[in-house]
Amino acid sequence: MRCPTGKNGYYSESEVQEALIRSHIRFVQAAKTYYKCHDCGEYHLTKQGELHPLLSTPEVKARIKREQQEQAWLGKLR
Ligand SMILES: [Zn+2]
């Protein structure tokens, strides 16, 4: 079912967490956290609210930094 909010929906929490991390790797339009939608029952990313604690964990921070560096390199090669 298409959500009335028009946002992208994610079926599982692990999927939406992955999307949240990816939005930070790509810098632009980074979402802060996610929520379970009352309209469609799926998870959505949002730029409102508190930064999700997942993004403050050392593993995730290290991953974001590493993948940003990789992207910067790829950008230079293009
Ligand atoms: Zn929804």
Quote the ligand 1 centre to 7 CA distance (angstroms).
7
Quote the ligand 1 centre to 26 CA distance (angstroms).
23
Quote the ligand 1 centre to 28 CA distance (angstroms).
22
- DSSP label of 10: B
Provide the pLDDT for residue 28: 64
Provide the pLDDT for residue 27: 65
**For 33-75, how does the pLDDT look when each residue is reduced to its tens digit (9 = 90+)?**
999 999 999 999 999 999 999 999 999 999 999 999 998 888 8
Quote the ligand 1 centre to 29 CA distance (angstroms).
19
The model's pTM:
0.86
In the chain, domain spans: 13-77
What are the Cα distances from residue 20, in Å, to 2, 23, 26?
A: 20, 5, 10
Measured between alpha carbons, how far is 65 from 30 in angstroms, rounded to an integer? 14
What are the Cα distances from residue 31, in Å, to 4, 51, 63, 77?
A: 19, 8, 17, 28
